[in-house]
Structure 1
Amino acid sequence: MTLDWTRDLPAPEALREPSPGTGASAPGTEPPAAASLLITPVQGIGEIQAGDNLVELIGWACGRELRSGDILAVTSKIVSKAEGRVLPADRRDDAVEQETVRVVASRAHAHGITRIVENRLGIVAAAAGVDASNTAEGTVLLLPLDPDASARRLCRGLKRDWDVDVGVVITDTLGRPWRQGQTDAAIGAAGLNVLLDLRGLPDSSGRPMSATVTAVADEIAAAADLVKGKTSGVPVALVRGLEALVTVGGMDRDPGAKALLRPAEEDMFRQGSAEAFEDGRRSGTRSGYNAGYDDGHAAGYEDGYAAGYAAAASEARRRARSTGG
């Protein structure tokens, strides 16, 4: 299946270079308008094994169709397989623990326990992204060690072998808070702006937008998944019509998909509600215990001091009587 969206819009104008270190277009930049957007499945890549050359396999599968300005959406699973990120299924729990940095939420259910965690890449996902789907029986796949670096290698290799400047988005399926179902999102990227900063531009009513920053890399990943699917054996899609997002020569200095991760200080929902409640209960109990201990200690000290003073006075009076004083 090929998706072809056409709109009666002017051809896109090139964006300015991304703001250094942000992975986004410069604030207030005129957004690109894709006159036509074509998403095509890349057939013929086949099953990937550890050590396979993805640049060669993807390049030959695209053939002479690949041209500068294209964007390739590449499923993370083939990157993981090529990089040897495969483990026996009986080591899954250990792998999840090793990949986990922070537990966000966990729920017990009839089939076990689902854990939503932040992994070492900063991505919040179920089971740290360790997955048993679309891999050989008895194995699990870990996410690539560095998806942004993997995307940069693909960009460089395709430039070297096919003389094209393309963007690459490494995609993976993620759940979403407050929404049913999953969708593909960008976990690695190179050669394109991953965020489109529209702050300062007027909206359709002429009012300046103050908070709109579009996650275009995630939108590309989700749209490409409509073509790749989950069971069709098509791990790569070619996206054409978003040339304005491609940053020629920018792959070595942009931050890639890391720019899509929300900083901890901006995260209003850093824990699941049950975990936040339990932390609050423990903290309150501990504070109450400490306060009670401190109060008891102070009261005991005061009582002991008074009792000691009374005992000393009584002893003094006893001695006075025994000496006839």
Structure 2
Amino acid sequence: MHCLAVEGLPEVRPGDDLASLIEERCTLHDDDVVCVASTVVSKAEGRAFDLSAFPASERARSIAARLEAISGDEKDPRFAQAVLEESETLVMEAPFLLAATRFGHVAPNAGVDRSNVPDSDLLLLPDDPMASAERIRSNLDADASVVVTDTCGRPFRHGQTGVAIGYAGIPATRDWRGETDRDGHELEVTNESIVDELAATANLLTGEGDDGVPVVVIREFEFGDHEGSEHLFRDASEDLVREALQEWTFSDASDAGSATEGSQ
């Protein structure tokens, strides 16, 4: 398997054809996997906004005030409003905003980003990353797959890694259940998240910060003779971690003070 960074892409603007921009700089092969950072997908889809586009509601002002009290850093309630509008539900409101997006991804701040947006305040995730991946793929001359990537932290571990939020032309997972290990034991639960692993691989080349390499081509990846699944995100009804977080209440000094004052 070979990983190729696509160099020299310009600053992406609303309406840009990402497929053309990529193929102008890289000769794609059939069966390549084209990993595209969500930042450039969002920019092409006009998902950059100023904070003024999100007048703060009472709930946003309350959330921002509480986060400011917890962190000691100033919080703009318009940012909280943007997160609310991009969320299907808030899994956690403190000590940070953890949100479930409308397309199933759970991420801090619903993936709303304030970096690498030269002409605006905020960059939102693509509205429908699956449709975004399919649109890019349909505009490619080669019969390649497309994975739209983002970076995200993980429970129980430090650091961020690349993850998939949309994909087309490739199954989300590689199902090993029913197959056997080297000792003949049947695998009962192993369902490998291929699109996440490809996204993480691509992230080694795209980098972070000001690296400016938003597209990586993965060549000669072989899915193998396995069953595949299109499902990547857990349903909320089956997600025990999300359920536990929604039932959990963050307690901080300001909460304790409020409780004391209220009881007097």
Residue equivalent to 1:193 = 171
Q: 2:200 aligns with which of 222, 227, 232?
A: 222
For 1:200-230, what per-residue CA distance to the aligned partner results, in whole angstroms no more than 9, with x for missing partners?
A: 1101221010000000100000010001111
1:265 offset after TM fit, Å? 2.5
Q: Is the contact made by 1:169 and 1:186 (CA closer than 8 Å) also made in structure 2?
A: yes
Task: State how far apart, in whole Å, the 2-side matches of 1:229 and 1:106 are.
Answer: 29
Q: TM-score, normalised by structure 2?
A: 0.79
Task: State how far apart, in whole Å, the 2-side matches of 1:148 and 1:141 are.
Answer: 18
Q: Which runs of 5+ in 2 are unaligned?
A: 55-78, 251-264
Q: What is the one-letter code of the residue matched to 1:276? A: E
How large is the Cα RMSD of the aligned pairs? 2.1
Task: State how far apart, in whole Å, the 2-side matches of 1:89 and 1:39 are.
Answer: 37
Aligned partner of residue 23 in structure 2, secondary structure: helix
Q: Is the contact made by 1:70 and 1:243 (CA closer than 8 Å) also made in structure 2?
A: no
Q: Is the contact made by 1:76 and 1:143 (CA closer than 8 Å) also made in structure 2?
A: yes
Residue equivalent to 1:129 = 111
Task: State how far apart, in whole Å, the 2-side matches of 1:120 and 1:183 are.
Answer: 22
1:152 offset after TM fit, Å? 0.7
Aligned partner of residue 15 in structure 2, secondary structure: coil
Aligned partner of residue 74 in structure 1, secondary structure: strand
For 1:157-205, what per-residue CA distance to the aligned partner results, in whole angstroms no more than 9, with x for missing partners?
A: 11xxx2x210100001111111111111000000012100000110122
1:52 and 2:16 correspond? yes
Q: Is the contact made by 1:132 and 1:139 (CA closer than 8 Å) also made in structure 2?
A: yes
Aligned partner of residue 147 in structure 2, secondary structure: strand
For residues 1-325 of structure 1, the aligned pairs below 5 Å read 37-62=1-26, 64=27, 66-90=28-52, 91=54, 92-108=79-95, 114-136=96-118, 138-158=120-140, 162=141, 164-230=142-208, 231-244=210-223, 259-271=231-243, 273=245, 275-278=246-249
Runs of 4+ in 1 over 3 A off after TM superposition: none
Q: What is the one-letter code of the residue matched to 2:84? A: E
Task: State how far apart, in whole Å, the 2-side matches of 1:146 and 1:255 are.
Answer: 19
1:232 offset after TM fit, Å? 1.1
The more displaced of 84-93 and 179-188 is: 84-93
Q: Which runs of 5+ in 1 are unaligned?
A: 1-36, 109-113, 246-253, 280-325
Q: Tell me which protein shows more helix as a share of its residues.
A: 1
Could you tell me the percent identity over the aligned residues? 40
The more displaced of 37-46 and 218-227 is: 37-46
Q: Is the contact made by 2:36 and 2:215 (CA closer than 8 Å) also made in structure 1?
A: yes
Structure 2 CA distance for partners of 1:221 and 1:104, relative to 1, 3 Å: same
1:118 offset after TM fit, Å? 0.7
For 1:31-72, what per-residue CA distance to the aligned partner results, in whole angstroms no more than 9, with x for missing partners?
A: xxxxxx11110011111011111111011111x3x1101000
Q: Is the contact made by 2:174 and 2:229 (CA closer than 8 Å) also made in structure 1?
A: no
Q: What is the one-letter code of the residue matched to 2:238? A: E
Q: What is the one-letter code of the residue matched to 1:155? A: R
